[in-house]
Chain A
Amino acid sequence: MTHEDDRTLDEALSAAREAGRACVLATIVATRGSTPRKVGARMIVDPVTGLVGTVGGGCGEAEVIESAGRVLQTGAAERVRVDLTEDLLSWSPAVCGGIMDVFVERVSAGEDGPG
């Protein structure tokens, strides 16, 4: 994460908060093997404006977005293990041969919950 990435995500968090809506923050907290993005990479899933940042794109990110939908509804944080070791010969750019753990949490707009 560069300082600019930090600022971009911070702006997205602030925007959602000011608009009074909850969004979801996904953070890569651990990786093994080769993954498209490293520990610390973040993505915000905002139900209105969409995605800010990336945790690597492709099928792996799709799993995270799916989790984000659940987390937004229930408020219960999830830890998603994305396995990119299958289909090493596929043409997908998301195939890197590694595994990553992504922490997915709801960021509330109000005072409820830790967010």
Chain B
Amino acid sequence: MTLRAAETSALLISTAEAGGTAAAVTVVASPDAEVLGHRLARVRVEGTSIVHGSLGSAPLDAEAVGLMDLAIDDPRAHDGLRRVETDSGAIELYLEVRRPVQELIVVGAGHVAQPMAHLGALLGYRVVVLDDRPDFATRERFPDADRLLRVDFSDPFAEVPLHARSHLLLVTRGHKYDYECLLRALRADPAPAYIGMIGSRRRVRATYVQLVDEGIDRSLIDRIHAPVGLDIGAETPEEIAVAVAAELVMLSRGGTGRSLKDVERVSERFFKVPDEETPG
């Protein structure tokens, strides 16, 4: 059974959206031109793996499945060519992996939410925007968002189940609402990947006082990103969204948040004068 390009693409997309991981290989070089473009896919959802399609021979399929499982298990695996030796010669496979789609939930559809939804979509997040006012979470204001919901902030996530791929940004119009949403987010199980809350140092401090009074554990409070974003001197809503986006990328890729100029010190190394021997 051959797996077609459109079916493969649909399979990878639906698996990633369902929180699973999927890989596929396509034959891109082979002594047998007939098999060019043949595909095999591996889908893993909640620990269960299945295979779709065939490359035409059981040993080759088994080898390809092995390669796909390795890639699925290694978050650093890159999409690209894999070479497989067969009795009739070398075959090159193009291997690609799609990991679970990450979700960005922007709570509050105000000034920061607009550029944030835009940047989130650009970065590949599935963006959900929530607000309790009727005229804010609208398609005109959020053309890139996947979902726009009018919610009650006393139970904001009723229609948006939180999971380990949820990234929350709390930017409601009132600190009181941010706090209620924060409390819900901190008590969510499984815990969201990221909880960011906008606010000045003073406001954040006041929130923490309130959380401690509520009996929230220090270890949970330490998970909150507040004030939100990287320190890039952001002032405008757009700049704040960039600071948050940068923080999200930094956390997912494991960056330092520093200027690469200072991390790599190319210029410093380039102009370095060899140490002169000091006369004894």
Q: How near does chain B come to A85, taking the closest CB pair, in angstroms?
A: 20
Residue B26 interfacial (CB < 8 Å): yes
B29 touches A79 (CB 8 A): yes
Q: Which of B17, B36, B121 has the most CB of A within 10 A?
A: B36
Number of interface residues of A (CB under 8 A): 27
In chain B between 1 and 52, which residues have their CB closer than 8 angstroms to a CB of chain A? 2, 4-6, 9-10, 12-13, 16-17, 26, 28-29, 33, 35-39
Residue A68 interfacial (CB < 8 Å): no
Nearest CB in chain A to that of B3: its residue: A114
In chain A between 89 and 115, which residues have their CB closer than 8 angstroms to a CB of chain B? 103, 105-108, 113-115
A10 touches B37 (CB 8 A): no
Contact A9/B36 with A3-B16, A29-B81, A79-B29 known, Cβ cut-off 8 Å: no
Nearest CB in chain B to that of A113: its residue: B37
Measured between beta carbons, the chain B residues less than 8 angstroms from A105 are 5, 26, 36-37
Measured between beta carbons, the chain A residues less than 8 angstroms from B36 are 76-77, 105, 114
A10 touches B13 (CB 8 A): yes
Contact A114/B9 with A3-B101, A79-B28 known, Cβ cut-off 8 Å: no
Measured between beta carbons, the chain A residues less than 8 angstroms from B81 are 29-30
In chain B between 88 and 122, which residues have their CB closer than 8 angstroms to a CB of chain A? 94, 96, 98, 101, 121-122
Nearest CB in chain A to that of B17: its residue: A3
Nearest CB in chain A to that of B2: its residue: A114
Q: Which of A3, A27, A115 has the most CB of B within 10 A?
A: A3
Residue A25 interfacial (CB < 8 Å): yes
Q: How near does chain A come to B183, taking the closest CB pair, in angstroms?
A: 30
B78 touches A39 (CB 8 A): yes
Q: How near does chain A come to B75, taking the closest CB pair, in angstroms?
A: 16
Residue B190 interfacial (CB < 8 Å): no
Measured between beta carbons, the chain A residues less than 8 angstroms from B232 are none
B4 touches A115 (CB 8 A): yes
B10 touches A114 (CB 8 A): no
B5 touches A13 (CB 8 A): yes
In chain A between 12 and 29, which residues have their CB closer than 8 angstroms to a CB of chain B? 13-14, 17, 25, 27, 29
Q: How near does chain B come to A41, taking the closest CB pair, in angstroms?
A: 10
Q: How near does chain A come to B174, taking the closest CB pair, in angstroms?
A: 32
Residue A6 interfacial (CB < 8 Å): yes
Residue A2 interfacial (CB < 8 Å): yes
Q: How far is the CA of A4 from the CA of B96 in the complex (A)?
A: 16
Q: How near does chain A come to B247, taking the closest CB pair, in angstroms?
A: 18
B94 touches A25 (CB 8 A): no
Residue B167 interfacial (CB < 8 Å): no
Nearest CB in chain A to that of B127: its residue: A4
Nearest CB in chain B to that of A115: its residue: B4
Partner-A contacts on B (CB < 8 A) = 2, 4-6, 9-10, 12-13, 16-17, 26, 28-29, 33, 35-39, 78-81, 94, 96, 98, 101, 121-124, 126
Between A and B, 5 residue pairs with Cβ closer than 8 Å are A17-B6, A105-B26, A105-B36, A114-B37, A114-B38
Beyond the given pairs A4-B124, A27-B94, 10 more chain A to chain B contacts, judged by CB atoms under 8 angstroms and listed by A's residue number, are A3-B13, A3-B126, A13-B9, A27-B26, A29-B80, A76-B33, A77-B37, A103-B94, A107-B4, A115-B5
